[in-house]
Amino acid sequence: MKKFLYSLALACAVLSSCDIEPLYIESDLRWKKYEPQTLQPTHTIRELSQMYQPGKPFVVNRDLIVGGQVVSTDQPGNFYKSLFLQDETGGLELKIGRNGLYNDYKQGQWVYVNCRDLSIGMYGYKTGSYGGSGMVQIGFSDPTGEYETSYIESPLLVNTRIIRGEQGTMPEPVAVESSGQLPKSSDSQATHSLLGRLVTLRGLYYAKETFVLLYLDSTKDKKLYTNRVFLSDTNGATGDDKTHGITTWAMSKSKMTEYLCAGLWDDCKVGSGSTFTGQTLADFRGDGSYPGVEKAAYSVSQYFTMGQTSIQVRTSGFCKFADLEMPADVLSGRRALDMTGVLTIYQGSLQLVVNSQDDWRYSDTGKKLYER
């Protein structure tokens, strides 16, 4: 009996000996905290941009480090999967390709990018008299050639190439008082320091023009002209009013449905460029719910002018302030706005993307358009 007892104790002790690693069960606030790092940049953003030749994206195969402060946030949803860094020479987009970036990369925080294995390319470059420059970006190579860079996405690459530094204060936006300070259509970050940076454009007047690209079915090929409807100055606009009845900065799904079902776009033709199907959106009205048109959130470009220069204010339909109504005195063109956002260029056209609704202020009073 004793022997058996001993054997039992021994067998249990051996076989049920502790697991190799301890298990967590109780609440524990101890974890390995991330320590901010500081790298020495080898290049400024302008120098990096100058390395890019139009139409020739390249993969960096050495330790090429740029650094800057984060000036964008995807928290309200107007930036998506990427962030903008700026240093004293300019700014650029870092195409990370992940959600909730503001949790890791906060506005004003220093970030260093070792571009080794990453790709430098441009988005929005177009040749010809109606074209112009686009924006130099850091991303990953895109073997399809559809774009010059793709999102980085790989968590390993993101963590090892994009180094989070110390939290700094948010850079003050560069005030732009006149159109003469603005980049020209042929400018890029290599030639103009405002591109990709946080700026405040003062005295913008509404141009009573919008641009939206709708898709009848977003699950079908978005490049098919039969699936596209452009709400633009050449399609569905009448007279000087090229707004298509859109009075918000963008359109959430419910707002888009409201606009659509109000029949505001009935005259808009289905098709793109000069190729149309012969249908208009009125042909999809059905019982009034437009069953042939998918309801979804849409980005809107609202056009403003600074002097003679047109600025597109791009706002996402998924952001929290998409459906904010533009004030009547702004819509009428009577009152000017100051807007703070990241200045970019697309095919030679200037665009501004704001971080939040607080970035819109009246020029005359300095008050926010939308008090919270």
Write out the two tokens for 156.
């390993």
262 belongs to the binding site for other proteins (CB under 8 A): no
Q: Which stretch binds other proteins (CB under 8 A): 84-92, 127-135, 249-257, 268-276?
A: 249-257
Q: Indicate the residue among 98 and 126 with the shorter CB distance to other proteins.
A: 98
Q: Indicate the residue among 154 and 310 with the shorter CB distance to other proteins.
A: 154
37 belongs to the binding site for other proteins (CB under 8 A): no
Q: Which stretch binds other proteins (CB under 8 A): 50-58, 247-255, 274-282, 333-341?
A: 247-255
347, with CB counted inside 10 A (0-12, 13-18, 19+), is middle
Region 96-155 residues binding other proteins, contact defined as CB under 8 A? 98-100, 103-104, 106, 117, 140-144, 150, 152-155
Closest approach, Cβ 144 to other proteins, in A, equals: 6
Phi/psi of residue 110, nearest 5 degrees: -80, 135
3 belongs to the binding site for other proteins (CB under 8 A): yes
Q: Residues 204, 209, 215, 221: is their CA dihedral positive or negative? A: negative
Considering only 1, 61, 365, 367, the residue that binds other proteins (CB under 8 A) is 1
Closest approach, Cβ 70 to other proteins, in A, equals: 13
Q: Indicate the residue among 36 and 245 with the shorter CB distance to other proteins.
A: 36
Residue found under tokens 């500081």? 38
Q: Indicate the residue among 77 and 236 with the shorter CB distance to other proteins.
A: 77
Give the residue from 140, 42, 48 showing the smallest Cα distance to 96.
Answer: 140
Question: Residue 304: which residues within 8 A CB-CB, separation 6 or more?
Answer: 201, 204, 205, 206, 207, 310, 311, 312, 313, 337, 339
Residue found under tokens 């987009």? 93
320 belongs to the binding site for other proteins (CB under 8 A): yes
Closest approach, Cβ 121 to other proteins, in A, equals: 14
User: What is residue 339's DSSP assignment?
Assistant: E
User: What is residue 63's DSSP assignment?
Assistant: -
55 belongs to the binding site for other proteins (CB under 8 A): no
